[in-house]
Amino acid sequence: MQLHKMRNHWVFSPQEFFGVVHGLKPVSRNILSNNEIPPAKFEKECKKNSVIFEIKELKEMYNQKANAKIAYISKEKELIEKAKEAEEKGNRKKIAKLLGYPECCAEFFSKEHAFGVTKKILEKSQKPFNWQLNFFYNLDSRLNNIELNALDWQTVERINSYCIYLINHVPCSFECKKSQEYAEKMKKILQKEEPRLAKKIEEILKKPLFYQSELLIAVFEESNVKKSPLLEELSTMKKSEAINKLEKGIGELLLFE
């Protein structure tokens, strides 16, 4: 399927959908907004690829009262039930494994409840980081579908942030071998299903990145940092000055907010 067609579905990113189709992810799930009705086209696409698509209402999540509508996809109905149950009961390790996270990262996720990058991961990993583990651009876990829909394609192109990832979990470190294996498999899946996106992802993930909330610079392989005096300059600036400079529109660095 072409990326622009996939975009119209919006229920799952190509990584999630094809990750399930090709067996890399046992389950994928996405929280829907209350009035959101997934397009019929998406259901058809699932049938064509022998993927089971179900929407579940969860009254409880992580042992707290909830009123959540969650879309699940899997090749096995039973795994959808297991994922729903794990999330209701707050079994983070189980849900992480069902979503395909490597064992070490599932363990890390369940202990740290790490939804975003933490200083700890950046500091304990040797630079430059493996570019395949650059998960900073994954907006999927931070925006609901309505918010994603509200982003016009130009904005998305400008911030280069729509489904730009190979791993959508927080790795236990930027050296995690299991996550690298996962990313390599995802890359091959995308090269087959969405070659244009695969190429774009590789190009973006290899760039250095200024991470605003912690004022940290994440440097990935092939970032060519030495040729970027700007990066050095930013790292010595105060946060407000650095943001000012970035807002003036610098094409060389990509900003994650």
Binding site for Zn ion (CB under 5 A): 102, 104-105, 172, 176
**Is the CB of 42 or the CB of 174 nearer to Zn ion?**
174
Minimum CB distance to Zn ion smaller for 60 or for 175? 175
Instruction: Measure the CA–CA gap between 42 and 28, rounded to whole angstroms.
Output: 14
Report in angstroms how near the CB of residue 189 gets to Zn ion at its nearest: 20
Residue placing its CB nearer to Zn ion in the complex, 6 or 106: 106
- Residue closer to Zn ion by CB (options 14, 26) is 26
Q: For Zn ion, which is the closer residue by CB, 102 or 208? A: 102
Does an H or E element contain 29, and which? strand 27-32
Residue 180 near residue 133 (C-beta atoms within 8 A): yes
| Cα(93)–Cα(104) distance, integer angstroms | 10
Rounded to a whole number of angstroms, the minimum distance from the CB of residue 216 to Zn ion is: 20
Q: Which is nearer to Zn ion, 83 or 167 (CB)?
A: 167
Report in angstroms how near the CB of residue 146 gets to Zn ion at its nearest: 32
Q: Give me Rg for the CA atoms of the chain.
A: 19
Give me the least distance between CB of 69 and Zn ion, in Å please. 31
Cβ distance 217 to 252 under 8 Å? no
Alpha carbon separation from 198 to 4, 36, 86, 242, 245 (Å, rounded): 14, 29, 32, 31, 30
Q: Report the nearest approach of Zn ion to the CB of residue 186 (Å).
A: 15
- Strands lying side by side in the sheet with 216-218: 216-218, 209-211, 254-256
Alpha carbons 167 and 138: distance in angstroms, whole number: 9
Distance CA 5, CA 104 (A): 35
Residue 127 CB, shortest distance to Zn ion, in Å, is: 18
